[in-house]
Chain A
Amino acid sequence: ELKVEQNPLFLSMQEGKNYTIYCNYSTTSDRLYWYRQDPGKSLESLFVLLSNGAVKQEGRLMASLDTKARLSTLHITAAVHDLSATYFCAVGNKLVFGAGTILRVKS
């Protein structure tokens, strides 16, 4: 059974700082997704990672995938308040989600 673990589950950051969210999964998969969810809103697709070594960047967010280690990272550079949200990684075709990381960026 595929299991997905994220850490940390809660992250409080100062504006301007860098941090990384980790996503580990238990069995081989050919795809990994990152989603963002704002309070009371639905899930917004951020990245699709399909191959070992894949790296994608959008603004202050960069996601990477290591299929051998079954690990994906979401790196936040110079955080700003607008990045405050819950971030989920998800693996597989019928998506198996991690528990989510609640990110709060403080001024």
Chain B
Amino acid sequence: GAGVSQSPSNKVTEKGKDVELRCDPISGHTALYWYRQSLGQGLEFLIYFQGNSAPDKSGLPSDRFSAERTGGSVSTLTIQRTQQEDSAVYLCASSLGSYGRASDTQYFGPGTRLTVL
């Protein structure tokens, strides 16, 4: 079946602009996660959704970052007033159940490479 998809695959923007990154999870997966991968910080958790609610937003680095999920499916990560330090690959993952279930593997999408000039 189809895996996790993300769009765009690459995004180049100017400092101060807003960007939206999209994630389409695997059909039927109720849990959705956003991570960020950068050279300096490695792989970092950003936010977790269970259905449409986000019980864990602890990884969002500032209030410029927000995310929503609608219909228990597609999620959008929005970064306002982008800064150069936001440049990274943003990865989305989904899993079948909540993250209380240890057996659930997170399946990752191909990522969006964001470059802020």
Identify the A interface with B (CB < 8 A).
30-31, 33, 35, 41-45, 48, 50, 88, 90, 93-100
Report B-chain residues with C-beta under 8 Å of the C-beta of A48: 102-103, 105
Q: How far is the CB of A62 from chain B (nearest CB, A)?
A: 18
Report B-chain residues with C-beta under 8 Å of the C-beta of A42: 91, 108-111
Report B-chain residues with C-beta under 8 Å of the C-beta of A30: 102
Assuming the A-B contacts A88-B43, A99-B42, are A93 and B100 also in contact, with contact meaning beta carbons closer than 8 angstroms in the complex? yes
B106 CB-CB contact with A under 8 Å: yes
Q: Which of B45, B56, B58, B102 contacts A31 (CB 8 A)?
A: B102
Identify the B interface with A (CB < 8 A).
33, 35, 42-45, 48, 56, 58-59, 91, 93, 99-100, 102-103, 105-111
Could you tell me if A45 and B107 are in contact, using CB atoms closer than 8 angstroms? yes
Q: Which of B42, B102, B110 contacts A97 (CB 8 A)?
A: B42
Q: How far is the CB of A38 from chain B (nearest CB, A)?
A: 11
Report A-chain residues with C-beta under 8 Å of the C-beta of B93: 43
Could you tell me if B35 and A95 are in contact, using CB atoms closer than 8 angstroms? yes
